Chains A and B, each alone.
Chain A
Amino acid sequence: MSDASDTPGVPEPPPEPEAPEAEPGSRIGIDSWVAEADQRRARGRGPLGLAAWGWESAPDSTKLLAFVAIAASLPFWLLKSEGDLFNFGLFTLIFVGLGLGLQVVVGLAGLLDLGYVAFYGIGAYAYALLSSGYYGHHWPAEATLPIAMGAAVIPAAILGFAARRLLGDYLAIVTLFFAQAFLVFTNVTNPTLFGKGITGGANGIPNLDPLTFFGYKLTSTKQLYFFTLGTVVVVAAAIYLANQSRIGRAWRASREDPLAAEVMSIPVNRLKILAFIFGSAVAGLLGAIYAAVSTAAVSTNFNIGVLIILYAIVILGGFGSIAGVFVGAIVINVSFEFLEPQTDYPSFKRWLFYGLIIFVIARLKPWYRAAVILAGTVGFGFAVHAVVAAMAGHAWTTGKPISGAGWLTHWVVIPRLNHGNFDNFLYIGLVLAVMLVASLKGWWRTIALAPTLYLTALVWENVLVTSPGVTALILFGVMLIVLMAIRPQGLLGTSRVEIV
């Protein structure tokens, strides 16, 4: 059937010294040396390096099994309490599932889907309407989960079709608007159907049924955890397999260069809409599970803040990397939960915080640079403390940190009274400083790093106590900006796009 069937499929034995008149053989050697550089670098020293290398070279199925084994054991040692399992375990898994769906749309097909949370919400409301006393339907989960997916798919298909001619640019704005319209619809519009507001307005729909499969109810956190784990693994495997097929290759080709893909026989728009629908179906499924887990569907749980968290997960993990979604979700959700009530275990968190800062400094390459930064940070702190004490009076410097740690009071400026927006401005200042540092180079960065680190400590001791939710979200916003500038492919992303 092939035109070149007379050409052997196997390479003929190589003509001994490379093709004679071609570029000298060493060129190829250089190419392969360059190509393997990443692997060599990855094979770091020490047990950590060995572990990383082992992870790199393990087959993907082994990685997934390792994850399942660890995740399945967690409820029996690390997350023994119901609350920990709920906050750290179950919610991380839900975020993993959501991140996976988003990864298909954003990472594989390269579409900026900003309405992803709306499909998540649609799934949740579908479950709420069909499996609760709200309208008196108590359908079992084996019926409502597929319906929730379908309910998310239909609007996705319509949106994708509407934006098909200019998918790349307009999909972003259309979906962002869709997310907002969904919020307004559920929260404010709430049209009446069968004598009731269809979405329950701002209160949402409460008292949902637990997930019930063929009469078997999942009620305990542990049951829900294992069910969600199973779902997430199935979703991850499905996406992995799709990615390894002609569909996945076509997705990635369309992401890389839509025009070239189209000319290489790939119907780009159709495939992008397929990815968009696929992602929306995953979001709908997770939405239904989320509704069942939290026993309510409330529109504020599907706002733009959640969208940013999901994007942070996908981007931190890396574009197009399925394993990255797991890492991203774990890092983001655990740190989010961790930051929330800082009053829990304050001294432990403080040690972790300063430990992390020192670890980051110690990792800097020439040792004297690290030394300069460390000395600079410490010195800068004492100087600022002295200046503030002299200029503004002792009321500004004699506040107490949350727990003990009296040694800090001579270094960190902690006002005794609440000075208006002092801490909030500090925080915004820090964020801007981080962006500035990220855009500086060389010694300028080193010099700017010392005050920034001090500012970080200042913020840590002053702010996070008072308004954790918003600050964490600001952090995610900035993380997106800084990551895009420094390492756009994310932590585990491999794509390297060259500058032409």
Chain B
Amino acid sequence: MAEPARKALLELKDLSMSFGGLKVIDGLDLTVNGREVVSVIGPNGAGKTTLFNLITGIYRPDAGEILLEGGSLVGLPPYKITQRGVARTFQTLRLFLNMSVIENVMASQYGRTKVDIVRAMLRTPGMRREEREIRRFAEEKLSFFGQRLMGYRWNQPAYSLSYANRRRLEIARAMATDPKILLLDEPAAGMNPVETHEITELIGQLRDEGGFTILLIEHDMHVVEGISDRVIALDHGVKISEGSFEQVATDPRVVEAYLGTKATVTK
């Protein structure tokens, strides 16, 4: 599916990270090209979420490089990495629960807006203009989800949303940082089959209509199969397989990692 003339947007080179002697990510190389959906799969504890935490600056790698459009992200604080164009969602939802739905999406535009506190208190014309733009942009991102997050829901506190809608809101909030690449951490977790199907289509739309590049962690193989341009399998922090979904899914090393079969011993 992937068009050839794409250049690398996100590059990880020989990335390593360990917690107290335990290697969680071990010499990982990974490239994500523009307008591509790449899925990362692997059993629990394979280091998938750690990978996201490394890219977004929550952890600092012990060794290796993280490049976004050629510029290094290592050592930057998370908010600067997001301002450079990396946004993410969390596997365990981390919405601003006591803020309204639209405020969640407005809050995450902090990095792309400028008005300081003095101008905010004085309500200068520039401030009002920017505030209108923030609201418009937020509404635009929310409208991506059709009826799900529309209308009366905007002014509801986020805690009143259903589980599936919270996942949608997390995606909208990440989109509102105006990123180049979206990291989605198990967007379909805890969803029913209908919702899962919907989210799969949505991720496709994000790439095709929204123009986002997407790096995805997902356990649900239907989702992975449905939208991935490329799949990468991790186990114990090491990349054990890469390629199309079919290639990876049938790779004996992947099967072994998931099922723990000792029949075919590979190195």
A contact set with B: CB distance below 8 Å: 2-4, 6-11, 14-15, 18-19, 21-23, 27, 31-32, 34-35, 238, 241-242, 244-250, 252-253, 256-257, 259-268, 274, 278, 320, 494-498
Expressed in whole angstroms, the Cα–Cα distance for A14 and B111 within the complex equals 33
**B222 in the interface, Cβ–Cβ < 8 Å?**
no
Main secondary structure on chain B at its contact with chain A?
Answer: helix
Q: Which residue on B lies nearest to A495, using beta carbons?
A: B98
Contact A8 B159 (CB under 8 A): no
Q: Once the chains bind, are A3 and B210 in contact (CB under 8 Å)?
A: yes
A262:B78 contact, CB within 8 angstroms: yes
Cross-chain contact A245 with B115 (CB below 8 angstroms): yes
Q: Does B64 contact A (CB under 8 A)?
A: no
Count A-B contacts at CB 8 Å: 173
The chain B residues found within 8 Å of chain A, CB to CB, are: 56, 58, 77-79, 82-83, 87-88, 90, 94-99, 103-104, 106-113, 115-117, 120-123, 127, 130-131, 134, 136-137, 139-141, 143-144, 146-148, 150-153, 156-157, 159-162, 164, 173-175, 177-178, 194-195, 197-198, 209-212
Partner of B160, one of A8, A34, A265: A34
Check A242 against B121 for contact (C-beta < 8 Å).
yes
> Is A261 a contact of B107 with CB atoms below 8 Å?
yes
Residues in chain B near residue A494, CB distance under 8 A:
98, 157
Check if B110 sits within 8 Å of A249, measured CB to CB.
Answer: yes
Q: Which of B78, B82, B164 has the most CB of A within 10 A?
A: B78
**CB nearest to B131 among chain A residues:** A245
9 A-B pairs besides A256-B95, A262-B78, A264-B79 with CB distance below 8 A are: A4-B175, A9-B136, A22-B194, A23-B195, A242-B117, A246-B120, A250-B110, A252-B99, A268-B79
CB–CB A4/B97 < 8 A: no
Q: How far is the CA of A248 from the CA of B134 in the complex (A)?
A: 14
* CB closest chain-B residue, reference A241: B121
Q: In the complex, A100→B146 CA distance in Å?
A: 40
Question: How far in angstroms is the closest Cβ of chain A from B117?
Answer: 5
Q: List 25 A-B contacts (CB under 8 A).
A: A2-B178, A4-B141, A4-B144, A11-B143, A11-B147, A15-B147, A27-B162, A31-B161, A241-B120, A242-B120, A246-B113, A252-B107, A253-B104, A256-B98, A260-B90, A260-B95, A262-B77, A263-B58, A264-B111, A264-B177, A265-B83, A265-B108, A265-B110, A265-B112, A494-B157
Give the most central of A23, A249, A267: most B CB within 10 Å.
A249
B210 x A246 contact (CB < 8 A): no
Choice from A19, A241, A256, A262 contacting B99 with Cβ under 8 Å: A256
Most chain B CB within a 10 A radius of its CB, from A4, A11, A238, A257: A4
Find chain B residues with CB under 8 A from A250 CB.
107, 110
CA distance A180 to B84 in the complex (A): 43
B120, A264: Cβ atoms closer than 8 Å: no
Write the chain A residue with the least CB distance to B210. Answer: A4
Partner of B97, one of A35, A241, A256, A278: A256
Q: B106 near A32 (CB under 8 angstroms)? A: no
Q: Is the CB of B58 within 8 A of A259?
A: yes
- State the CA gap A320–B210 with chains docked (Å): 36
* CB-nearest residue of chain B to A270: B79
- Residues of chain A with a CB closer than 8 A to B141's CB: 4
- Whether A11 touches B212, Cβ cut-off 8 Å, given contacts A2-B137, A4-B144, A264-B107, is no
Cβ–Cβ < 8 Å partners of A22 in chain B: 148, 194-195, 198
Q: Say how far B183's CB is from chain A's closest CB, in angstroms.
A: 10
| Complex Cα–Cα for A496 and B159 (A) | 8
Q: Give B175's nearest chain A residue, CB to CB.
A: A4
Q: Which chain B residues border A19 with CB–CB below 8 Å?
A: 146-148, 198
- Residue among B117, B130, B161 facing the most chain A CB atoms (10 A cut-off): B117
Residue of A nearest to B140 (CB): A9
* CB pair B147 A14 closer than 8 Å: yes
Quote the shortest CB–CB distance from A167 to chain B (angstroms).
Answer: 14
How far apart are B115's CB and chain A's nearest CB, in angstroms? Answer: 6
Chain B contacts of A262 at CB under 8 A?
Answer: 77-79
Residue of B nearest to A251 (CB): B107
Given contacts A246-B110, A250-B110, A260-B95, contact A7 B143 (CB under 8 A): yes
The 9 closest A-B pairs by CB, nearest first: A265-B111, A245-B120, A264-B108, A260-B94, A256-B96, A265-B82, A495-B98, A249-B107, A253-B107
**Which residues of B are found within 8 Å of A32, using beta-carbon distances?**
152
CA separation between A4 and B144, bound complex, in Å?
Answer: 9
Q: Which residues of A contact B210 (CB under 8 A)?
A: 3-4, 7
Whether A247 and B140, one on each chain, are in contact in the complex, defined by CB atoms closer than 8 angstroms, is: no
> B127 and A260: CB pair below 8 A?
no
Q: Are A249 and B115 in contact (CB under 8 A)?
A: no
Closest CB in chain A relative to B171 CB, distance in Å: 12
Pick from A14, A266, A278, A320: contact of B110, CB under 8 Å: A266
Q: Are A274's CB and B117's CB within 8 A? A: yes
Closest chain-B Cβ to A107's Cβ sits at a distance in Å of 11
Which A residues are in CB contact (< 8 Å) with B122? 241
Q: Within 8 Å CB of A263, what residues of B?
A: 56, 58, 78-79, 82, 87-88
Which residues from B are CB-within-8-Å of A14? 147
Residues of A contacting B94 with CB < 8 Å? 257, 259-260
Measured between beta carbons, the chain A residues less than 8 angstroms from B109 are 246, 265
B contact residues around A256 at 8 Å (CB) = 95-99
How near does chain B come to A266, taking the closest CB pair, in angstroms? 5
A265 touches B79 (CB 8 A): yes
Interface centre among A9, A268, A278 (most CB of B within 10 A): A9
Closest to B92 in A: A500
Do A7 and B82 touch (CB < 8 A)?
A: no
